[in-house]
A = this chain, B = another copy of it.
Amino acid sequence: MKTDRLEYFSDAVFAIVITLLIIDVHLPANWTSGLGNALVALWPSYLAYAVSFFVIGAIWINHHGMFQLIVRADNSFLLLNVLQLMAIAFIPFPTAVLAESIHVGSGMSTAIVFYGGTLVSVGVTVNLMWRYAVRAGLVRDDITPAKVKLLNRRFLLGPAAYVVAVAVGLAFPWAALAIFVGINVYFLWPRWKRKARSE
């Protein structure tokens, strides 16, 4: 079974999740006392929107990269992909909770743990997919065992970093938020630089 319809389906889910993030951003009912102030007061929503957009964008780029290694699919692999999408499609809710918690100024540690926990479960499903793909022979034939080992470790880095962020977030929620963004900058950055050097 080829992976094209699977990639297509996943891309559609990514696109919808990323676009639904804005749905939870609303003007408060009492904005008529001043639109400018009301728009500024919504900054926690903009922040949560930007962080989640960036995080989901990075997960998408990662998914994109993984499917340049995986070239076949079977039914169990489809099911694992559904599990990953289940975790990803959940993200708009912890995003809204996070924005609400910053806005009200209460419960931010809880909100960060809830948000980070969702990202950890995304990372876990990514690793399940990758390991299953290797075991079931769904990866490209030119990928050596050494390369597999390297990638095994690379795919673990994400959820590990998220677990650290969640632990940090229990005491310093803002630091955790910075780590969520930082992890993804790190993942995207090296290739960027490498690319630039090779030209």
Residues of A whose CB lies within 8 Å of any CB of B are 1, 5, 7-9, 11-23, 25-27, 31-32, 34-36, 39, 49-50, 53-54, 57-58, 60-61, 64-65, 68, 74-76, 78-79, 82, 85-86, 89-90, 92-93, 96-97, 100-101, 104, 106-107, 110-111, 114, 136-137, 188, 191-192, 195-196, 199
The answer on a CB contact under 8 Å between B9 and A104 is no
A sample of 13 more A-B contacts (CB under 8 A), given A18-B85, A35-B107, A54-B86, is A5-B7, A9-B11, A12-B16, A21-B89, A22-B90, A26-B96, A27-B97, A32-B104, A32-B107, A57-B79, A75-B188, A76-B192, A136-B195
Q: Which residue of B lies closest to A17 (CB)?
A: B19
Copies in the complex: 4
Q: Which residues of B contact A111 (CB under 8 A)?
A: 35
Q: Which residues of B contact A25 (CB under 8 A)?
A: 93
> In whole angstroms, what is the CA distance A92 to B14 when docked?
18
The answer on a CB contact under 8 Å between B11 and A86 is no
| With contact pairs A35-B97, A96-B27 given, residues A199 and B136 touching in the complex (Cβ less than 8 Å) | yes
> In whole angstroms, what is the CA distance A196 to B107 when docked?
46
Contact of A195 among B5, B76, B85 (CB under 8 A): B76
The answer on a CB contact under 8 Å between A9 and B96 is no
The answer on a CB contact under 8 Å between A76 and B8 is no
Q: Separation in Å of the A184 CB from the closest CB of chain B?
A: 9
> In whole angstroms, what is the CA distance A36 to B50 when docked?
24
Q: Which residues of B contact A49 (CB under 8 A)?
A: 86, 90
> In whole angstroms, what is the CA distance A7 to B8 when docked?
10
> In whole angstroms, what is the CA distance A76 to B195 when docked?
9
The answer on a CB contact under 8 Å between A101 and B35 is yes
Q: List 11 A-B pairs, Cβ < 8 Å.
A: A15-B16, A22-B92, A23-B92, A32-B106, A36-B110, A53-B85, A53-B89, A54-B86, A75-B188, A75-B195, A79-B188
